[in-house]
Structure 1
Amino acid sequence: MIEPLPLHGPGGHPAHGTDFTAIDIRTTGLRPGRVVELAAVRVHADGSVAGQLTTLVDPGAGVPPGPAHGITRGELDDAPPFGEVLGPLLDLCAGSVVVAHDLAFVSAFLGFEVSDLGVRMPALPGVSTLAVAQSVLRLPNYRLTTVAHALGVPARPGQSALSGARTVARLVTSMVERYGFTFAAPPVFPGLPRFSGGRLLPRGEVATAEPGWMADAVERVAAGRDGDTYLDLLAEVVADQHLTPDEVTALAALAAEAGLSEARVRSTHEQLVTALREIAERDGVVTAAEARELRQVATALGVAGVDVRPTDGGKATRVLVLGTTVAADQLRARVLAEGVQLAKKLTASVTHLVVDATVPAGEPRLARAAELGAEVLDVRGAPVALGFEAPAVRAVPSGGRLPKVLGGRVLMGVGLVLMFIVVVAMFGGTPLAGGIFLAALGVGALLGGWWIAEPAPR
């Protein structure tokens, strides 16, 4: 249903002036199956919103909605089937480039739903923000929340598909503007079938709680470049700091449905808990709340031997990076990759505030940071100040040795002249004692000049 259209640097077909329609879905499982919620947000290249839709989708009578997204089976009973949602979705996408974070995942689920309807669809051009992020940033993982945080997108995806679609829309327009991406080929917008009618049932917006330590920690959990779908889902579920028995049961069922062995599931659980424990201890400070959350997650996932005790090693390093340049993006990614806490706003727990050239001198948070005792750094010097890189060793200027070199060479010249005089004098009948004296002076001048002019050992 969606054909990937790669983005790359300058030199291709311009992306400015193009409309993008960001799509996010909530599904019943890990592999192509049923969609239970869909949202799409159409934006112009400047980021302004041109239209949006969101709806729950009934996957069929009695089909469970799956974990992690807060949708109940009762809510789906009144929702329209996918066939009633497809028309409004295509109307919104017409003449635009489709964007999804994990484009392959979204395309597979939508393609399954369309094929189940018996509808033949031309391929829509699509962009993956995950693939684009992998090409420009080195991150511990490339989940949507992590990428959004690294690019300073001021929104945290919540449980709803609409929150995710809005975040994807902000990501793609930020990437195009900030990195100057162009299309590898001009996008081709096919004619799309029209469907009459169409019914939508939006899910009520739920105010998401302020993310706690666990949500911050899972952004720093390393994953392979190709990702791990089950690990990503697991991280999403534990990010709310609590695992219910129902969620654990649903996760086990999804893993089995996806063909994951019991050993693979157990290994993934251990991988996540071990990484969270290392992150907690690496911060230098483990609060009682953090230790309690980690033990709860470990117990729920059946991971034994996790003994994290509260410690007080001082104030943990917590960095807030302000700015919209590529350098600011790279530093935010570096902070996450180094396992350091990356703050989303300025609070008393922030130890370092980093700014780039886009931050005005009158930015109120600069003065507030000084009041809170946070160190203010320039983005260029921050990697060294934060301990990510060693200070550059300055080379001794070559001009500093120039006088010594010249002096040594002059002295060597004097020695050569004296030796020449000795040779001439000896042939002219000069007494032996005088010749020896002059020869000694010449040799001394030669050796002394060579010692002065010789480069110092490195």
Structure 2
Amino acid sequence: MIESLSLLGAGGHPARGTDFTALDIRTTGLRPGHVVELAAVRVRPDGTVAGELSTLVDPGPGVPPGPVALHGITRADLDGAPAFGAALGSLLNLCRGSVVVAHDLPFVASFLDSEAARIGARVPVLPGVDTLAAARTAVGLPNHRLATVAPAFGIAARPGRTALSGARTVAQLAVSLFGRHGFTFASPPVLPALPQFAAGPLRPRADVPAGEPGWMAEAVERVAIGADGDAYLDLLAGVVADRHLAPDEVAALAGLAAEAGWPAERVRSTHERFVVALREMAERDGVVTAAEARELRQVATALGVADAGDLRPTADGRPARVLVLGTTAAADRLRARVLAEGVQLAKKLTASVTHLVADPSVPANEPRLARAAELGADVLDVHSAPVALGFEPPPAPPAPAPAPVPARARLPKVVGGRVLMGAGLLLMFFTVVGMFAGTPLVAGIFFAFFAVGALLGGWWLAEPAPR
């Protein structure tokens, strides 16, 4: 149903004039099964939203909705919702004449293909872009979950539980990738001619904005949680980020891992590595509060990890919280660098922000610049920030130029050099005359050698001093 397009940097076919339709889904599991929620957001290249679609999807009478504790969709929510076939027409109408984008496109495409095959729908192949793979190319991050990539790209809205919130974030991410990051298509996308389909009734789910991220959510953004695109780790990180890991959530995760064929040992080792990484993030901040220690131990206990260990701050003098302002690719790369270095990336200016970095797109009269200085934060520009934040060593100072030699001090050398050159020329003259008069060859070569030496030595002594 969706064919992934190859992308290039500069030099490919530009996306100028191309609309994007961002997709996100909620499913019954990690393997292709049933879609229980579908959302799509169409945006123009300048980021203007041209249309949205959101609906719950009934997988069939009596079919379980999957991990309710994770996506929040109950069987009662699905009763009376349209089937996939009834929602497909509305989806294709929104996608017509656009390039489809999704974060972890292979995962989304596999479920849509499974649903289309189940109802026997023959859908033309739609061109698509995987924003996860593109973001991985654009910036280096500890992980490329959508909730991590969004703040790195300066996207204010965090993806929440609903598919619509995720699709909105993916749409903004696509605009940034093809806009300020300059991605292009390796070959022009082929947009299939789609007819106008009958649009059936939809049942959207109420979109609840994500709450303010706590310490745990910010720590998850800085944790290298494994292979990008691993749906289990993405779910695990998402559940942990809300600070409340309930037993039903842990049971839901275990069920999904078993369904995906993960042996118990693999699940256990994954949980242990995840908790250890969280502990390292807590200690690296330099200050471990009682709440952080309590939350970490609660997560460790819920995941079956025996002990989170004694938390010991290991501050190394690096910044505690960095706020990066700006809408350039350089600002995105710095935000990603902050996360990759294990430093907290602030979402807004508070008293806990230690450094504020602004790129050239931030006006000089931006109120947060003055306010940051009032709060005692260091205000930096985006180019000097990596060195000022301690991420890179300062550039080596240029080697000092040799001190000029005073002309009066050089006068004896110049005179001596010229005298020596004159002696060399005179000796060379007599050598040549002598050889024409019959002087033996060996003697001529001997005197010529001394003449050349005198010329070179005199030239070296009389060479002008460097300026």
Place the TM-score, normalised by the shorter chain, in its bin. Answer: 0.7 to 0.9
Please state how far the C-alpha of 1:97 moved relative to its aligned partner: 0.6
Please state how far the C-alpha of 1:216 moved relative to its aligned partner: 0.6
User: What does residue 65 of structure 2 align with?
Assistant: 64
Aligned partners of 2:376, 2:359: CA distance in 1, in Å? 20
Q: Residues 24 and 100 of structure 1 are in contact (CA less than 8 Å); yes or no, is this contact kept in structure 2?
A: yes
Pair 1:142-2:131 in alignment: no
Aligned partners of 2:253, 2:242: CA distance in 1, in Å? 15
Aligned partners of 1:257, 1:409: CA distance in 2, in Å? 87
Q: Aligned to 1:403, what secondary structure does the other structure show?
A: coil
- Report which stretch shifted further, 23-32 or 335-344: 23-32
Using a 3 Å threshold, how does the CA distance of structure 1 residues 420 and 205 change in structure 2: closer, same or farther? closer
Q: Which one of the candidate residues 96, 121, 135 is aligned to 1:119? A: 121
The 5-angstrom pairing of residues 379-418 of structure 1 reads 379-397=382-400, 400-401=401-402, 403-404=404-405
Using a 3 Å threshold, how does the CA distance of structure 1 residues 317 and 408 change in structure 2: closer, same or farther? farther
Question: Cα deviations across residues 262-308 of structure 1 (Å, max 9, x unaligned)?
Answer: 11111110111000000000000111111111111000000012124
Question: Cα deviations across residues 134-171 of structure 1 (Å, max 9, x unaligned)?
Answer: 11211111111111111101211111100000011111
Q: Which one of the candidate residues 58, 76, 83 is aligned to 1:81? A: 83
Using a 3 Å threshold, how does the CA distance of structure 1 residues 239 and 420 change in structure 2: closer, same or farther? closer
Q: Which one of the candidate residues 85, 92, 95 is aligned to 2:94? A: 92
Amino acid at match of 1:145: A
Aligned partners of 2:143, 2:331: CA distance in 1, in Å? 18
Q: Which one of the candidate residues 149, 159, 162 is aligned to 1:160? A: 162
Please state how far the C-alpha of 1:419 moved relative to its aligned partner: 8.8
Please state how far the C-alpha of 1:20 moved relative to its aligned partner: 0.8
Amino acid at match of 2:358: V
Using a 3 Å threshold, how does the CA distance of structure 1 residues 221 and 411 change in structure 2: closer, same or farther? farther
Please state how far the C-alpha of 1:15 moved relative to its aligned partner: 0.6
Aligned partners of 2:410, 2:261: CA distance in 1, in Å? 79
User: What does residue 297 of structure 1 align with?
Assistant: 299
Aligned partners of 1:247, 1:152: CA distance in 2, in Å? 30
Pair 1:331-2:329 in alignment: no
Please state how far the C-alpha of 1:11 moved relative to its aligned partner: 2.3
Aligned partners of 1:283, 1:408: CA distance in 2, in Å? 60
Q: Residues 286 and 312 of structure 1 are in contact (CA less than 8 Å); yes or no, is this contact kept in structure 2?
A: no
Please state how far the C-alpha of 1:414 moved relative to its aligned partner: 6.5
Aligned partners of 1:352, 1:239: CA distance in 2, in Å? 24
Aligned partners of 2:174, 2:224: CA distance in 1, in Å? 23
User: What does residue 428 of structure 1 align with?
Assistant: none
Aligned partners of 1:147, 1:243: CA distance in 2, in Å? 23
Please state how far the C-alpha of 1:34 moved relative to its aligned partner: 1.1
Using a 3 Å threshold, how does the CA distance of structure 1 residues 410 and 279 change in structure 2: closer, same or farther? farther
Q: Which one of the candidate residues 373, 376, 388 is aligned to 1:373? A: 376
Gaps of 5+ in 2: 427-456
The 5-angstrom pairing of residues 1-20 of structure 1 reads 1-20=1-20
Q: Which one of the candidate residues 321, 324, 329 is aligned to 1:321? A: 324
Using a 3 Å threshold, how does the CA distance of structure 1 residues 138 and 45 change in structure 2: closer, same or farther? same
Gaps of 5+ in 1: 425-445, 454-458
Question: Cα deviations across residues 13-58 of structure 1 (Å, max 9, x unaligned)?
Answer: 2211111111111111112111111100111111111111101112
Question: Cα deviations across residues 55-100 of structure 1 (Å, max 9, x unaligned)?
Answer: 1112231413324222222212232211111111111111111111
Q: Residues 70 and 239 of structure 2 are in contact (CA less than 8 Å); yes or no, is this contact kept in structure 1?
A: yes
TM-score (normalizing by structure 2): 0.85
Aligned partners of 1:405, 1:263: CA distance in 2, in Å? 79
Q: Aligned to 1:179, what secondary structure does the other structure show?
A: coil
User: What does residue 34 of structure 1 align with?
Assistant: 34
How many residue pairs align between the two structures? 428
Please state how far the C-alpha of 1:417 moved relative to its aligned partner: 7.7
Using a 3 Å threshold, how does the CA distance of structure 1 residues 420 and 11 change in structure 2: closer, same or farther? closer
Please state how far the C-alpha of 1:207 moved relative to its aligned partner: 3.5
Q: Residues 28 and 36 of structure 1 are in contact (CA less than 8 Å); yes or no, is this contact kept in structure 2?
A: yes
CA RMSD of aligned residues (A): 2.7
Question: Cα deviations across residues 75-130 of structure 1 (Å, max 9, x unaligned)?
Answer: 12232211111111111111111111111111111111101111111110011111
Aligned partners of 2:210, 2:139: CA distance in 1, in Å? 27
Please state how far the C-alpha of 1:312 moved relative to its aligned partner: 10
Q: Which one of the candidate residues 203, 206, 212 is aligned to 2:205? A: 203
Q: Residues 159 and 210 of structure 2 are in contact (CA less than 8 Å); yes or no, is this contact kept in structure 1?
A: no
TM-score (normalizing by structure 1): 0.87
Using a 3 Å threshold, how does the CA distance of structure 1 residues 189 and 410 change in structure 2: closer, same or farther? same
The 5-angstrom pairing of residues 339-378 of structure 1 reads 339-378=342-381
Amino acid at match of 1:211: P
User: What does residue 183 of structure 2 align with?
Assistant: 181
Using a 3 Å threshold, how does the CA distance of structure 1 residues 142 and 417 change in structure 2: closer, same or farther? same
Using a 3 Å threshold, how does the CA distance of structure 1 residues 420 and 346 change in structure 2: closer, same or farther? closer
User: What does residue 443 of structure 1 align with?
Assistant: none
Pair 1:242-2:252 in alignment: no
User: What does residue 110 of structure 1 align with?
Assistant: 112
Please state how far the C-alpha of 1:311 moved relative to its aligned partner: 5.9
Using a 3 Å threshold, how does the CA distance of structure 1 residues 404 and 74 change in structure 2: closer, same or farther? farther
Amino acid at match of 2:300: A
Using a 3 Å threshold, how does the CA distance of structure 1 residues 307 and 118 change in structure 2: closer, same or farther? same
Amino acid at match of 1:121: V
Please state how far the C-alpha of 1:368 moved relative to its aligned partner: 1.0
User: What does residue 440 of structure 1 align with?
Assistant: none
Amino acid at match of 1:349: S
Aligned partners of 2:272, 2:229: CA distance in 1, in Å? 17
